[in-house]
Structure 1
Amino acid sequence: MKILSIQSAVAYGHAGNSAAVFPMQRIGVEVLPVYTVNFSNHTGYGAWRGPLIPPADVAEVIRGVEERGAFASLDAVLSGYQGSEGIADVIIDAVARVKEANPAAVYACDPVMGNAKSGCFVAPAIPDLLREKVVPVADVITPNQFELGFLTGTAPDTLESTVAAADAARDMGPRTVLVTSVERPDRPEGTIEMMVVDDDGAWVVQTPHLPMKANGSGDVTAALFTSHYLATRSAPDALARTASSVFGLLEQTLAAGDRELQLVQAQEHFAHPRLEFAVRQVR
């Protein structure tokens, strides 16, 4: 499997491609990383150094990959944190050219905007660009519950309303929606959920909610789910493997007492997920 991953990069710690590439490689995926920013660290620290990469430069890198004849062998394009506003058009153009070279290729979009606790942390124009231009051309999207609400103009807070919001997102274009950080009032205390909805149904998996903030974990989640879903074409299987791997990563990070994901140290959770969490079909 081969994936073109268009995301941010950080030198210190793990976010964007600096979080997504290694887990995909560890499970056997050939990754072609293209960077939208080159920051010293993720923006959760409140201070960082380094440039937003101009959209024309990002497009040049992608064009060079195309000139090597790589597009026909790509199974997917994955995008995450976009940085500047013009990156959306670069991604859309790249997806169109990849699909022209390989009509079976899939576009997976992680519509990074923010979260329920922090609100939006991207440039003001990015959320509307994602909703109006990028998400409609995606095959798979991986929003958190907060981002799903923005995309669909809803406020999902129950299983039923989250499934309905995922269906509304599917009506925009994507056929598969993975929803992360699902929190509903009636869930057991100390738990959190992920949900996936596709043409075959809707499934949810529940894990313990660890007391930590884990920048980059959404990037790992999107990368692993996309890879597993492409490999198996089974939403519940991909959900089970992803939930297990990400929980293992977070549990090991919490135990280490480090703010940054223990990505390398937790690699066995990617390669051999324990599959300890039951996936339940809800539709």
Structure 2
Amino acid sequence: MKILSIQSAVAYGHVGNSAAVFPLQRIGVEVLPVYTVNFSNHTGYGAWRGPMISPDDVREVITGIEERGAFPGIDAVLSGYQGGEGIADVILDAVARVKAANPDAIYACDPVMGNAKSGCFVAPAIPVLLRDRVVPAADLITPNQFELGFLTDTEPDTLESTLASVDLVRATGPSAVLVTSVERPDREEGTIEMLAVDDAGAWIVQTPLLPMKANGSGDVSAALFTAHYLRTRDAADALARTTSSVFDLLERTHESGERELQLVESQDAYANPRMQFTVRRVR
């Protein structure tokens, strides 16, 4: 399996491609990483150094990959945080060219905008661009519950309203949806959930809610779910594997006391997930 991953990169810590590439490699995926920024660290620190890469330069890198004859062998294009408006055109163009070379390839989009606690942390034009142009072109999307609400102009909170919002966004284009950070008012205290939906049904999984914030965990979730789903087209299995791996990554990070994901230290959790959480069919 080969995935063309168009995302940010940092030297210190793990977000974007710096979070997604290694877990994918550890489960046997060949990754072609293309960077949209090359920062010293993620912007959550309030200070960082390094360049945002221009859309033209990103396009040039992708064209170079195409010129090596790689596109027919690419199974998925994966994108995450989009720092500027221009990068969307580059990503959508790459998706079209990859699909022309391999009609079975999919586009997996993590529509990064923000979260319920912090609100939107991207430029004001980005959420609208994602909703109106990028998400409709995707086959698989991995929003959190907050982002799902923006994409559908709804306020999902219960299981029923979250499923209804998923149906609305699926009607715009994506056939498969992974919703992360699902927080229902009637869930068991101290837990959090993820929900996966495709044409075959809908499944939810619940884990303990760890008292921490971990930048990059969404990038790992999107990458692993994309790869597992590609391999099996089984949303329940992909959900179980992804949840197991990401929870163990977060638990190890929490126990370490470090701010950054313990990505390398947790590598066995990707290759050999414990499958310790029950996935329940809800539709």
TM-score bracket, normalised by the shorter chain, equals over 0.9
Question: Corresponding residue for 2:18?
Answer: 18
**CA displacement at 1:49 relative to structure 2:** 1.2
Provide the rounded CA distance (Å) in 2 between the counterparts of 1:121 and 1:188. 29
Provide the rounded CA distance (Å) in 2 between the counterparts of 1:84 and 1:38. 14
Question: Corresponding residue for 2:90?
Answer: 90
C-alpha distance after superposition, 1:241-269 (max 9, x if no partner): 00000000000000000000000000000
C-alpha distance after superposition, 1:140-161 (max 9, x if no partner): 0000000000000000001111
Alignment of 1:72-151 (within 5 A): 72-151=72-151
**CA displacement at 1:47 relative to structure 2:** 1.4
**CA displacement at 1:124 relative to structure 2:** 1.4
Provide the rounded CA distance (Å) in 2 between the counterparts of 1:72 and 1:221. 26
Tell me, yes or no, if the aligned pair for 1:137 and 1:174 is still in contact at 8 Å.
yes
Please give the secondary structure, in 2, of the residue aligned with 1:194: strand
**CA displacement at 1:44 relative to structure 2:** 1.1
Paired residue type of 1:88 = A
Paired residue type of 2:184 = R
Paired residue type of 1:89 = D
Question: Corresponding residue for 1:52?
Answer: 52
**CA displacement at 1:193 relative to structure 2:** 0.1
> Are residue 2 (structure 1) and residue 2 (structure 2) matched?
yes
Provide the rounded CA distance (Å) in 1 between the counterparts of 2:252 and 2:104. 37
Please give the secondary structure, in 2, of the residue aligned with 1:4: strand
Paired residue type of 1:105 = A
Question: Corresponding residue for 1:153?
Answer: 153
Paired residue type of 2:189 = E
Please give the secondary structure, in 1, of the residue aligned with 2:95: helix
Provide the rounded CA distance (Å) in 2 between the counterparts of 1:259 and 1:42. 12
Please give the secondary structure, in 1, of the residue aligned with 2:194: strand
Provide the rounded CA distance (Å) in 1 between the counterparts of 2:62 and 2:209. 38
Question: Corresponding residue for 2:41?
Answer: 41
Question: Corresponding residue for 1:172?
Answer: 172
> Are residue 263 (structure 1) and residue 263 (structure 2) matched?
yes
Question: Corresponding residue for 2:190?
Answer: 190
Task: Tell which deviates more after alignment, 4-13 or 118-127.
Answer: 118-127
Provide the rounded CA distance (Å) in 1 between the counterparts of 2:117 and 2:47. 19
Q: With structure 1 as the length reference, what TM-score do the two structures score?
A: 0.99
Paired residue type of 1:180 = T
Please give the secondary structure, in 2, of the residue aligned with 1:242: helix
Q: With structure 2 as the length reference, what TM-score do the two structures score?
A: 0.99
Tell me, yes or no, if the aligned pair for 1:114 and 1:120 is still in contact at 8 Å.
yes
Task: Tell which deviates more after alignment, 145-154 or 46-55.
Answer: 46-55
Provide the rounded CA distance (Å) in 2 between the counterparts of 1:98 and 1:82. 20
Provide the rounded CA distance (Å) in 1 between the counterparts of 2:180 and 2:38. 26
Tell me, yes or no, if the aligned pair for 1:116 and 1:146 is still in contact at 8 Å.
yes
> Any gaps of 5 or more consecutive residues in structure 2?
none
Paired residue type of 1:259 = R
In the alignment of these two chains, the number of paired residues is: 283
Question: Corresponding residue for 1:218?
Answer: 218
Paired residue type of 1:54 = S
Consecutive aligned runs of 4 or more in structure 1 exceeding 4 Å deviation = none
Identity between Structure 1 and Structure 2 (%): 79
**CA displacement at 1:126 relative to structure 2:** 0.7
Provide the rounded CA distance (Å) in 2 between the counterparts of 1:278 and 1:203. 10
Provide the rounded CA distance (Å) in 2 between the counterparts of 1:109 and 1:154. 20
Provide the rounded CA distance (Å) in 2 between the counterparts of 1:44 and 1:13. 11
> Any gaps of 5 or more consecutive residues in structure 1?
none
Tell me how large the CA RMSD over aligned residues is: 0.5
Please give the secondary structure, in 1, of the residue aligned with 2:275: coil
Paired residue type of 2:196 = V
Provide the rounded CA distance (Å) in 2 between the counterparts of 1:142 and 1:11. 25
Tell me, yes or no, if the aligned pair for 1:54 and 1:84 is still in contact at 8 Å.
no
Provide the rounded CA distance (Å) in 1 between the counterparts of 2:28 and 2:265. 17
Task: Tell which deviates more after alignment, 17-26 or 115-124.
Answer: 115-124
**CA displacement at 1:221 relative to structure 2:** 0.1
Provide the rounded CA distance (Å) in 1 between the counterparts of 2:133 and 2:50. 27
Please give the secondary structure, in 1, of the residue aligned with 2:128: helix
Provide the rounded CA distance (Å) in 2 between the counterparts of 1:47 and 1:240. 36
Paired residue type of 1:209 = L
